[in-house]
Structures are given as C-alpha cells and as structure tokens.
Amino acid sequence: MTSVLFMGYHSLGTACLRALLECPQADVKALLTHHDNPAENVWFETPRHVAEAAGIPVHYPEDLSTDRAVRMMKSMAPDIIISVYYRLMVPEEVLRIPPMEAVNLHGSLLPGYRGRAPVNWVLVNGESQTGMTLHYMVKAPDAGDIIDQVAVPVSIYDSARSLFDKMNAAGSDLFRCNLAGLLAGTNDRKPQDHSLATYFGGRRPEDGRIDWSDSANAVYNLVRAVTRPYPGAFSLLPGSLKLTVWWAFPVRGGGPRPDAEPGTAFLHKGEAFAACGGGSCLRLIDVEESGAGENVTGANALPARDWLELQQDGEINLL
C-alpha cells in the first residue's frame, strides 16, 4: 500500500478524498484542511465529514512552515502528498518529505492561470476554455511538471457556479484516471513552458465593483464571475446604498439608447438596461439593493425592471 497525506478543501477535495478512500492501494494517514470561515458563503461540500466518517485524523494547521507542523507531517511518513484545492502554501521542507514527491490538482490549463481563483478569473477575462491540471509541486506556485490535464469548455452562459460544477466533474475524472499511477509512482511528467505562464492573485469582494465605462461584454463577464454564490458585482449608489447586479446580459447592436452616458440605468419597453462604454448596453435582469457595507446573498433579489420602476422617472445613474 501507498501511504498518503491528503491536503484538501472544497467539493473537489471532497470528491478526491472519497476516491482515495475507495482505492485499496491507498492508506490515507490524515487530512489537512481548513475550518469553514463564518465570513465566507460555504456553498460547497467540505472533506472533513468524509474523513471523520472513515476514522481518518483531521488537522487544521494555519501555517505549514512551523516546526510543529513539519514534525507532525514527518511523523506520518507519507509516501506521497496529494493536494486538491488546499489554500496554504506548501513549503519546500514539506515537499521534500515524501519519497514519491507531492502532487496538486489545479483548476486551470497550466501554465495559464497559475495562482488563486482561476475559475473566477477565466470568466472575468472572457475565456472560452479552461481545464484541470494534475502536476508535481515545487516551490513556485503551480509551476511543477505536468502529469495530465483535461480541457473544459466555457460557455458564454456559464457563471462561476456552473463552471465550478463542470470543473469538479472533469477534475474528479482526471484524478481517478491517474490515481493508480500516482500510487505506484509510474506517471509521466512533462515540464511546463514557463514562458507561457500567467499568474493571478486572489479576489476580494471589493473587486466586484463595476466600471460602467467598460464594454457591456466586460461588465457581463464580471457579473457572471462573481454572481451567487459569490459576493456579486455591484455599484455604489447615493445615500450609502449599494446595488448588486446578480445577473445581466449584453445587448447585441448597442441597445435602445446608444448615446446614453455609461452608468445610466433606464427602462425601455418594460425591460431594464444599463449603458456601458463604447455605446454598448447591458440588459439588467436580477438586482438587489442594500446598505453599502452590507453583505448580500441574493435572498432579496428582485427583477431589475421592478427595482427601476421605484426610481424617479424609471432612471438612475449608477456611477
């Protein structure tokens, strides 16, 4: 049997832990994971319940570089470390512990979109394809040799949630297909072309603020990248209010008022629109008004046309 130290979180981490526990060649020594953050909308499945049900020890280190954390991991003597959507950096000292190295399952087609929140970033940037990559871990984030990867198409209608569902299915299949090789140490490896690498950092709720001078396509990409279950794309309104745009869609051909100033939201023939940069236009579908500093979930969302009907003359400047 091959002893495994598993580091994971999120739905895909849970699915991969299940795959390991179903595999007779795997001896899972422990799960390293994260406490659920009360400030975060935990809409996904987390792996600790799976580990606890199987009698696997669960640890929640806040820093893997401390002497205590390193001693703990060395005491497990894992043959391999497997990481899936684990949020802490794994230091070199830890990567050197297993004789069969450490591997990670990353949510992009490496070497593109190294780093944090790749699912959200590919939508922000309007990509038509992303993927999942299984790779060896090195000191630099997501820079190790590739074991295997699979492409995932991105639909123009995808939101972060629908794309996550696609990625989870593809990632789970990729992991299961390569699991026997991982545990036997027989996987192929292909160096990444670092000249093609792109890197993106984490996203914060405030990064969802809409710039209405951007094109309607760019605004739509932001909306779908951070809509529910994420904090949402928003504009700040007079009176310390915030308008979160939960869903919208760009209008072909410029919309009904191509000369309107960007940021002007208006009604036209019973539908809600917002003027964007370059004469483009976004049809507003679902919105939610709240206090400027209030966290919203979409529970109080309403059709944008209903919200605009409450505004004077059915029109408002969102800038």
Which stretches of the chain are assigned E, i.e. beta strand? 2-8, 26-32, 58-59, 80-84, 102-106, 114-115, 129-136, 146-153, 199-200, 233-237, 241-250, 264-268, 271-275, 281-291, 302-303, 315-317
Overall average pLDDT of the 71-91 stretch = 97
Overall average pLDDT of the 145-174 stretch = 98
- Whether 128 has a pLDDT exceeding 90, the answer reads yes
Cα 86 to the chain's mean position, in Å? Answer: 12
Q: What's the confidence (pLDDT) of residue 293? A: 85
Q: How does residue 212 score in pLDDT terms, banded at 50, 70 and 90?
A: very high
- Whether 243 has a pLDDT exceeding 90, the answer reads yes
Q: How does residue 255 score in pLDDT terms, banded at 50, 70 and 90?
A: confident
* Alpha helix stretches (DSSP H) within the chain: 10-22, 48-53, 67-76, 92-95, 118-124, 160-184, 216-226, 304-309
Q: How does residue 65 score in pLDDT terms, banded at 50, 70 and 90?
A: very high
CATH architecture of the domain formed by 205-317: Roll (3.10)
Start and end residues for every CATH 3.10.25.10 domain found in the chain = 205-317
Q: How far apart are CA 281 and CA 216, in angstroms?
A: 5
* pLDDT tens profile 67-77: 999 999 999 99
Q: How does residue 295 score in pLDDT terms, banded at 50, 70 and 90?
A: confident
Q: Can you name the residues that pair with 129 across neighbouring β-strands?
A: 153
Q: What's the confidence (pLDDT) of residue 314? A: 82
Overall average pLDDT of the 155-170 stretch = 98
Q: Can you name the residues that pair with 243 across neighbouring β-strands?
A: 235, 289
CB 147 within 8 A of CB 135: yes
Residue 315, CA distances (Å) to 40, 266, 304 in order: 34, 4, 11
Q: Can you name the residues that pair with 131 across neighbouring β-strands?
A: 151
CB 297 within 8 A of CB 41: yes
Overall average pLDDT of the 39-58 stretch = 94
Q: How far apart are CA 200 and CA 268, in angstroms?
A: 39
- Whether 312 has a pLDDT exceeding 90, the answer reads no
Q: How does residue 313 score in pLDDT terms, banded at 50, 70 and 90?
A: confident
Token pair listed for 147:
């074991």
CATH number of 2-200: 3.40.50.170
- Whether 40 has a pLDDT exceeding 90, the answer reads no
Start and end residues for every CATH 3.40.50.170 domain found in the chain = 2-200
| Helix axes 10-22 and 160-184, enclosed angle (nearest 10) | 30
Tally of CB atoms within 10 A around 205: 13
Overall average pLDDT of the 182-196 stretch = 96
Bond preceding residue 229 cis, omega within 30 of 0: yes
Q: How does residue 248 score in pLDDT terms, banded at 50, 70 and 90?
A: very high
Q: With a threshold of 0.85, does the pTM exceed it?
A: yes
* Mean per-residue pLDDT of the chain: 96
| Terminal-to-terminal C-alpha distance of the chain | 61
> What is the amino acid identity at position 76?
M
Token pair listed for 111:
């070497």
Q: What's the confidence (pLDDT) of residue 254? A: 82
